[in-house]
Structure 1
Amino acid sequence: MDNILFFGDSLTAGYGLENAATESFPAIIDTKINAAGLNYRVMNAGLSGDTTAGGLSRLDYWLNKPITVFVLELGINDIRRGVPPQTIQKNLQAIIDAVKSKYPSAKFVLLGMEIPVFLGGQIAEEFNGIYRKLATINQMPLVPFLLAGVMGIKHLNLQDRLHPSAQGYKIVAETVWPVLKAVL
């Protein structure tokens, strides 16, 4: 059985859900994989509050397991903490390079994030461009905006308005699944 590693922050972990083991988007995708009869095991390496630097520091632990597909979702906590977009891009590239070095035949899916330009101006534009640049440079499939169809919609988010509800995660999974399925 091949491993799919979902590597990210609270959005991957399923922060705030009653049962992240069944309601997070990696768990929903695992159900889809099983229903499609595909021979993959989903591993959820989401860690609430994680940054690209944090992800880089904990990556070796996860690379001790064979990885066939690596799904990367990090960066939004960095920008919220004022980390420059150039540093975020550098750290994401370092994560990609480390996975490629250990597992040269691994396939990748990059999950992009966006922030409204009216909140951050130039910084927002630079941040929003990181994921497309990385996808192009590394020739990897991209989900341009992980929270498309969910962000800003009250009933699809927890009270914090930052994290999807169980219903919101169903939409997130539908956003990710076509891109991931094509890779599988």
Structure 2
Amino acid sequence: MRIPGRWRKARTALVLTLYLLVSTLAVAQASAPEARKTLLVMGDSLSAAYGLAAEQGWVALLDKRLTGERPHWRVVNASISGETTAGGAARIDAALKEHTPALVAIELGANDGLRGLPLEHTRANLERMVTAAKQSGAQVLLIGIRIPPNYGPEYAQAFDAIYADLAREQNTALLPFLLAPVVTDRDAFLPDNLHPTAASQPKLLDHVWTVLAPLLD
């Protein structure tokens, strides 16, 4: 059966319209910006810029670096001064649900150690956070801290071992000691001798970056 000319023209126009529509959608998808991934930082005063302006802390500096070098990443800083591992463990589920991070950096434990809290509790709380983050689909960076031997060298050594043991067992990335670049420099700390100065924060960022950067690729 011969198709009338007007129907052939209509069919050609329809095919052309569909082709243009598909092409337009393909171009739009190809040019759409990559969805931003979230790095969630769960820490204490060392990550909350205690005693400094918020923008001076290493986490804020990290966010600034990511904007320039990894623009598809953003940082959510959920760090709280005075936070213990128990507090972090209590908050982790809500934080994961709210921010749906692709990567979680956990920097907690210093306040546990300074208070001499039971090591088994510290370890269990950190493990709870790591497990929750991994179950949500996020990668984990565990950031360790070391404490002075106020409660004896055995306590301090066992405390330090928590991070390496947990990272090995949970197969997570590990930065053994956040303050390693500045710990021997008294001038790198505020008068309380606990919290790094603003001038020390870029050094902390560079230190964290050595382990963090490969996780962002």
TM-score class, shorter: over 0.9
Structure 1 residues 37 and 79: CA distance shift in structure 2, 3 A: closer
After TM superposition, list the pairs within 5 Å mapping 1:1-184 onto structure 2: 1-17=36-52, 19-20=53-54, 22-63=55-96, 64-101=98-135, 103-104=136-137, 106-117=138-149, 120-184=152-216
Number of residue pairs aligned between Structure 1 and Structure 2? 180
Equivalent position amino acid for 1:43 in 2: V
Contact 2:188 2:196 in 1 (8 A): yes
- Structure 1: 5+ residue stretches without partners: none
Identity, in percent, stands at 38
Cα offset, 1:178, TM superposition? 1.6
CA offsets 1:135-177 (integer angstroms, 9 cap, x no match) = 1011111111000121242221111110011111111111101
Equivalent position amino acid for 2:113 in 1: I
Contact 1:152 1:161 in 2 (8 A): no
Equivalent position amino acid for 2:170 in 1: N
Structure-2 separation of matches of 1:39 and 1:5: 14
- Structure 2: 5+ residue stretches without partners: 1-35
Cα offset, 1:118, TM superposition? 7.5
User: TM-score, normalization: structure 1?
Assistant: 0.92
Equivalent position amino acid for 1:51 in 2: T
Structure 1 residues 113 and 131: CA distance shift in structure 2, 3 A: same
Equivalent position amino acid for 2:40 in 1: L
Structure-2 separation of matches of 1:4 and 1:93: 19
Structure 1 residues 14 and 161: CA distance shift in structure 2, 3 A: same
Q: Aligned-pair RMSD on alpha carbons?
A: 1.4
Kindly report structure 1 stretches of 4+ aligned residues shifted beyond 6 Å.
none
Equivalent position amino acid for 2:185 in 1: I
